[in-house]
Chain A
Amino acid sequence: MATERGSANDGAMRTTIEAAFTAQVDELTSSPPFRRLESGEASAKEYDRFIANLIRTHARSPQLVAFLYALAPPDAREDVLHNLLEELGIEDESGEPHPEMLKDLAASAGLYGVLPELERLATEDLRAIASQPLLYATLKEVGLAALCEVVAFEYMLSRVASRIEAALETHRGLPPQALRWFHHHSEVDIAHAEQGLRHIDDYVRYYGLAEAEAQGIIELTLQENVFVRRYFAQVSPTTPSAT
């Protein structure tokens, strides 16, 4: 159970981060491809590409949360471990690993044939992250950037997942059972997003990052809209490769 912590400065940084997250969520939901998904104007191929990109984005979430767990400050460690176990289906009320829910989504959407390719790409994405030369001097800065991106997704999903779920049910004809990944990350998960914002404060304080330094890292992480990039900018396959 997290307790109230923080100083005036933490509050200022939290406000800045939350404003940045909100702006990114607004940008996502007002982006033409998202509006097309919601309104039903998107083609079947666009829905499939969105689903494929989403699966690729989140298929390796447990690994990313495990990385955050390794770097978590003592005050946040228990919460992050709980999140990790939830991702793995161990402490989740459904008892189901979240990547398994994504597999069901793929199967229901007729993308099961391309699932191995999406999982391979997700693994390749992780490998690319690990292989990139580090932009920062130490792992503590890298960890803050990773934490910021993960919390940004939690924040966005807690506000948008149910809208996506409804759009896929209404316009793509997917059954609720296939869309349970969205339910698990929707408004019912708003506590995770709140917790994530606290964890950023904890992290910055624990590692002694100066406020300006932390702000710079967070701004650089959020300079692009990570949601638009992952869900719409990258091109994931929707049909099995011919070769």
Chain B
Amino acid sequence: MKLAAATVYAVDIPFTETFTHSAQVRRACDSVVVRVVNEEGVAGFGEGAPRPYVTGETPDSVLKHLVGDVWPSLAGTELPNPVEDGLAAFDAVIPETTVAGVIAPNAARCALELATLDCALRSTGASVALLIPARRSTLTYGGVITAGDDEAAARRASQMRSVGLDHVKLKVGTGNDVERVRAVREALGPDVSLRLDANGGWDLEQALTVLNAVAPFGIDVVEQPLPRHALADLKALRQECAVPVMADESLVTLEDAEMLLSAEAVDMFNIRVSKCGGLFRSTEMVRLAAQAGVGVQVGSQVGETAILSAAGRHLAAWAPELAFVEGSYGTLLLAEDVSVEPVRFGHRGRASVLTGPGLGIEVVEERLRRYAKRVVELLAEKTRP
């Protein structure tokens, strides 16, 4: 079945609150959502969440890349058969491209991969779980405490405790981190797992100083303590610090994964579907991590819609070993989400695997239109060279 048309939405869905960390202040979801339609009129939806400080992409660059570089070579293409060809075929059908100043155009790739996968699976009535079968029926999501003053962080920690979350991640790297961690640990109590995320905001010396000081508070792992390219320092930190180290911004491509593993620089990977270029490449990273005995967190993009949350849930349900899972915040963060059935987690962070066709959600296109900053309609005939 060939791809007949696509619609690209650059959306702007306000957050219910500002989300801040050491690298960014975010007030709205600025994802790029792609809707593809095959010759039979079956539609599929995918989403990419461009982050300049992660892959180097912006919503404008993703839109331009999808419309100008990728769609012309994809339009009219025969979609893979999910049952016969498997997940890899959906990655292979998208051309390898580069964009100046971008580490990897992974948000764009992710949006298209998910859309074509969703479309092909829907046309057969099958779920993504056909390709990456769930190993667990329920997932336990954690909460994230944004950067901000210590009092607000502690208050938010208490709220997370009141809804029974077992895992909490705290953004650090913006002020007096030791006092911040102390305040949050006191509010959470001793039983809740606490992780830190510096978003690359420290250097080696700062990281060692802070982490050695906060280790007694019981920190399960620190995410991206150092900037993306500080591979040698990451390894040194891992050797000298009692707190395990997780790669996030350092882990964008499969080559990054291989480098991190061969350097033995980290204990865990944070694998996010958009950042890593779609479901197939994310599963490859999970496999590499498993082979090397490195732990896996299935992370999320702050402010992602139900589309990326659904993809992340399938990945997390499939991952052989899963330490932590994030995302599925839905309307806890977005003024309005885009699916009929909410994907948000419930009490104690629990959420069931999705079993419906495709990604397992029904996207309300009218909502995409209402929140769209830009809409680009693409037809196979008009865009083919």
A residues contacting B by CB (< 8 A) are 128, 131-137, 213, 216-217, 219-220, 223-224, 229, 233-237, 241
Contact A131 B342 (CB under 8 A): yes
Partner of A136, one of B14, B156, B163: B163
Q: A132-B346, A213-B162, A219-B155 are in contact. Are A234 and B335 (CB under 8 A)?
A: yes
Q: Is B67 an interface residue (CB 8 A)?
A: no
A217 touching B162, Cβ below 8 Å:
yes
Q: Which of B313-354 contact A (CB under 8 A)?
A: 330-331, 335-336, 341-342, 344-347, 350-351
| B348 CB, min distance to chain A CBs, angstroms | 8
B371 touches A235 (CB 8 A): yes
Q: How big is chain B's contact interface, by range? A: 20 to 34
B164 A137 Cβ-Cβ under 8 A = yes
Residue of A nearest to B372 (CB): A235
In whole angstroms, what is the CA distance A219 to B335 when docked?
Answer: 18
Complexed CA–CA distance, A219 and B155 (Å): 8
Give A181 to B107 CA distance when docked, in angstroms.
46
Is B17 within 8 A of A223, CB to CB?
yes
- A241 lies within 8 A of B366 (CB): yes
Other A-B pairs, 6, CB within 8 Å; known A128-B331, A224-B17, A235-B336 = A128-B342, A132-B344, A136-B347, A137-B164, A223-B16, A237-B370
Residue of B nearest to A138 (CB): B347
Closest A residue to B330 by beta carbon equals A132
Per-residue A-contact encoding for B96-121, CB less than 8 Å = 1, 0 else: 00000000000000000000000000
In the assembled complex, 6 residue pairs joining A and B whose CB atoms fall closer than 8 Å, in A order, are A131-B342, A134-B347, A136-B163, A223-B16, A229-B335, A235-B370
Residue among B155, B335, B345 with max Cβ neighbours from chain A (10 Å):
B335
**Closest B residue by C-beta to A214:** B162
Decide if A135 touches B342 in the complex (CB within 8 Å).
no
Contacts of A131 in B (CB 8 A): 341-342
Bound complex: CA A235 to CA B369 (Å) = 10
Tell me if B158 and A133 are in contact (CB < 8 A). no
B336 lies within 8 A of A216 (CB): no
Q: Are B331 and A219 in contact (CB under 8 A)?
A: no
**Which residues of A have CB within 8 Å of B366?**
241
Interface centre among A132, A137, A236, A241 (most CB of B within 10 A): A132
